[in-house]
Amino acid sequence: MTAKPPATDHRSPEDYYAELTCRNSGVVTEAQQEALSRATVLVAGCGSVGGAAVVPLARLGVRRFLLADSGDYELNNLNRQHATRHDIGRNKAEVAAERILAINPHAQVDVYPEGVTAENAGELTERCQIIVDGVDVTTMSGVRAKFHLHKRAAAKQLPLVTGWDMAGALYAQYYDYRKISKPFKGVITEGDLDRLSTWQLIFRLVPLRRVPTDMLGELSPNIDNHAYNVPQVAYTALLFGAISSHMVAMLLAGQQVREEVVLDVHRAVLPLPARTALLLRRPGRTRRMVEALVMHRLGRLRRNRHE
């Protein structure tokens, strides 16, 4: 499905683009701007972190997008995602396409409202030069979609940027699949998808040392609470838009970026005494998190024996 622009601008596409991006000059290099103008960027998952990347990328000058998300907006998304109450019930990728075309009506945006699947992951990765991965992993189907995306990215040797918004911290990861042959550097395999729980898989992808202290305190008592919703807020998701769009510009221009970037808003704004107190609480919360994960694993093993 190809989205249509909301209105026609009377300037030529090139004149429009030049005016749109002229204030980037001096920050975005000529090489980056040229690369952004030519590349096709796949944004897989257009919710919290993926959706936060869409508008910055369009404003920086990406002109060709592939957007994939099977989810529709819900009211509880509005605290952090780029949507309004009028978008509730609408597909996230389709809404993201409208945002792009409202910025640049000459952009080319192809929408995949079925999201990333085992069947279309090959087509998606065939058509792009870089991937922004915001695939939701709150369900096992999401984890499987994420795995298929990374598997295809590795096969196509594509750079991929992904992120995790956790309480006040944003953890961004860069996978250079031009050099890495295994999805997620081999920390999970396709076989793991059938034997491990969603939480077990997540904590292989996100090292405990990267989980903020306040999030550890939230998660440890709720690992086996199926009604629990992980807290996510606007400013943390917005960080991924800032980080990932800059990383994409650099990578497309052939520059190197760090494999991990961590920004913790909560910790950054605390005065020194409060930061020290938070640091002192971390060992205890980490221990409780490890204990919760061990009990979670044992519980799954016992349930599997009885099935």
Q: What is the pLDDT of residue 10?
A: 79
3-state secondary structure of 153: helix
Cα–Cα dist 214/157, whole Å? 36
In a domain, residue 97? The reply is yes
Question: Rounded distance, CA 286 to CA 56, Å?
Answer: 35
**What pLDDT score was predicted for residue 203?**
94
Q: Is residue 7 part of a domain?
A: no
* Cα distance between residue 134 and residue 248, in whole Å: 14
b/e 83-114 (16+ beta carbons within 10 angstroms → b): beeebeeebbbbbbbbbbbeebbbbebbbbbe
Q: In what order do the strands lie in the sheet with 169-176?
A: 108-112, 64-68, 40-44, 130-133, 159-166, 169-176, 260-264
β partners of residue 260 = 173
Q: CB-based contacts of 230: which residues, under 8 Å, 6+ apart?
A: 138, 166, 218, 219
Domain annotation covers residue 4 = no
pLDDT at 51: 97
Question: Residue 171 domain-assigned?
Answer: yes
Cβ of 80: how many Cβ atoms within 10 Å?
A: 21
Measuring CA to CA, how many Å separate 75 from each of 32, 78, 152, 226, 229?
37, 6, 33, 20, 14
Residue 295 to residues 77, 200, 228, 307, Cα–Cα distance (Å): 31, 11, 17, 18
Crossing angle of helices 140-156 and 198-205, rounded to 10°: 40
CATH number for the domain harbouring residue 70: 3.40.50.720
The pLDDT of residue 306: 66
Q: In this structure, is residue 89 part of a structural domain?
A: yes
Number of domains into which the chain is organized:
1
Q: How much is the pLDDT for 7? A: 57
Q: Does 2 map to a domain?
A: no
Residue by residue, pLDDT tens for the chain (307 residues) are 777 665 566 789 999 999 999 999 999 999 999 999 999 999 999 999 999 999 999 999 999 999 999 999 999 999 999 999 999 999 999 999 999 999 999 999 999 999 999 999 999 999 999 999 999 998 999 999 999 999 999 999 999 999 999 999 999 999 999 999 999 999 999 999 999 999 999 999 999 999 999 999 999 999 998 888 888 999 999 999 999 999 999 999 999 999 999 999 999 999 999 999 999 999 999 999 999 999 998 887 777 666 6
- Give the domain range for residue 235: 13-306
Residue 1 inside a domain? The answer is no
The structure tokens 């077990």 sit at 200
Q: Which residue has the tokens 């699949």?
A: 177
Is 294 in contact with 198 (CB distance < 8 Å)?
A: no
End-to-end Cα spacing for the chain: 43
Cα-based distances in Å from 250 to 31, 36, 140, 170, 256: 9, 9, 32, 19, 7
Cα–Cα dist 31/255, whole Å:
10
At residue 240's C-alpha, the angle toward residues 155 and 242, to 5°, is: 110
Q: What is the reported pLDDT for 216? A: 93
Structural domain includes residue 3: no
